[in-house]
Amino acid sequence: MTTVNPDLKQLYLDIDYTPTLEEWNWLFQRIGGAYKSELARRTVFESELFGMNTYIIMAHLEDYLRMPQRMRTIAATMAPEDIARAGLPVGTKKNFICLVAMPLHYLAGRELFIDLGELDRSSDLDDHLEVLNFWRRATIALRTDGVLANIDADPTDSSRVLEGEQLAQLTEELVPADDEVRSTVRKFGAQLMSYCFLENCDSRMAVCDTGPYPLGRDGGILALRELTTDGTGDFPWTEGIRDLLPYHNFVIAYGLPGEVQMENNIWGTAWFSPTEYLKQLTHARVYVTDNGTLQALPMSELADVTTALRKAHKQLYLRFSEMSVKERTICATQMYAWKLKSWAHAAGAFDDIDWELSSRVTSMFERLSDDDYALQLLGGVFVPQSRDSVWGPIE
């Protein structure tokens, strides 16, 4: 194997640089190794309502088929780096977890098609480069820490997308956390998280963690958790329910002491040590971003928002429970494969894109609804025995 020694400053920061194929493979073999390591912790995906292994496979296959052309349509209207810079870098579905999922899911879809015997490994290079270049240009514009992946950040396994005035605003507007504040924020966060998971078919696609950011208070850290719900009608299953919520896009700012450790994994899910880190909360604030700014909510308003979330959750659960297994799987596949919707909205290209699922993927439902088969197929891609990365090299 050829040794690759990329110019990291050029690769990570020069938005106009075009990486070589060798550099792409160097980068994504490392990212794929971190992805495999994280997925090895959770090979089985379980849900009471959704066949998660089935819909994850279907959505990854859909991403492989549709993502490159959707990106071309979006980029023809607005450059990915300009989309990333437009508006807030937090509190929208045009965020870090959505962005990092693009190449992860696309390349996993490639491996699935290869394992199914429906794709040659040397196929579709132009499409691969379209996806990788879109992701890279947008990532350089979004991140403020000078890297493309959390594994390369300082500190390791961190991500930062805020700096300057926006970060200063969050820090200055934090309120000290006494027992009442801790309890209020914890209950609100738990209910919002529960609703976001359900709306996104028991996935984490609406929950994004960034940080740690330096808090500047006795060595403390600031952790940001973005939780976004459907306020624009992108998800048909929220029709008549989304209006129950007074707000749809949230950022919870947690101020924590320096002894709390925050590890932000490859796709933007944070793990804290100790696990009961909220007991050590020193400062907190909840923001909404529906109007395009970071609007701090009074702590006194959180109880009413929590009640609204609880009501919406009950109604959405009932709606899903009345669907057939196939109907729920189609909803979940759409959710996972629609990660570019927010980017298309921002670029003004939404109406130029066909958002229907491809018949090639929907026709595979019966075959993939066999749990044992789906688990075997997914496990073979996510935790392959023959390589260190989730995916093989592109060529």
Q: Give strand ranges (E) for 276-380.
A: 283-288, 295-296
CA atoms within 13 A on the CB side of 152: 17
Q: Residue 286 — left, alpha, or beta (φ > 0 → left; ψ -120 to 50 → alpha)?
A: beta
Count Cβ atoms within 10 A of the Cβ of residue 87 and give its class: 0-12 exposed, 13-18 middle, 19 or more buried.
Answer: middle
Phi, psi for 249 (deg, rounded to 5): -130, 125
Q: Give strand ranges (E) for the chain.
A: 175-176, 207-214, 221-228, 249-256, 261-264, 270-273, 283-288, 295-296
Degrees to nearest 5, angle at CA 233 with 243 and 132:
135
Q: Residue 20 — left, alpha, or beta (φ > 0 → left; ψ -120 to 50 → alpha)?
A: beta
Measure the CA–CA gap between 23 and 2, rounded to whole angstroms.
Answer: 11
Phi, psi for 221 (deg, rounded to 5): -125, 155
CB 395 within 8 A of CB 21: yes
Residue 87: per-residue pLDDT: 92
CB 140 within 8 A of CB 15: yes
Residue 3: per-residue pLDDT: 77
Residue 48: per-residue pLDDT: 86
**For 341-374, how does the pLDDT look when each residue is reduced to its tens digit (9 = 90+)?**
999 999 999 999 999 999 999 999 999 999 889 9
Measure the CA–CA gap between 159 and 138, rounded to whole angstroms.
Answer: 14
**Cα 196 from chain centroid?**
12
CB 209 within 8 A of CB 264: yes
Q: 286 has which bridge partners? A: 252
Q: pLDDT over 90 for what percent of the chain?
A: 87
What are the mean pLDDT values of the chain's consecutive 10-residue runs (395 residues total)?
82 96 94 86 71 94 98 98 96 93 96 95 96 98 96 94 92 95 97 97 94 87 97 97 98 96 92 95 97 95 98 98 97 97 97 98 96 89 86 92
Measure the CA–CA gap between 269 and 257, rounded to whole angstroms.
Answer: 20
CB 249 within 8 A of CB 228: yes
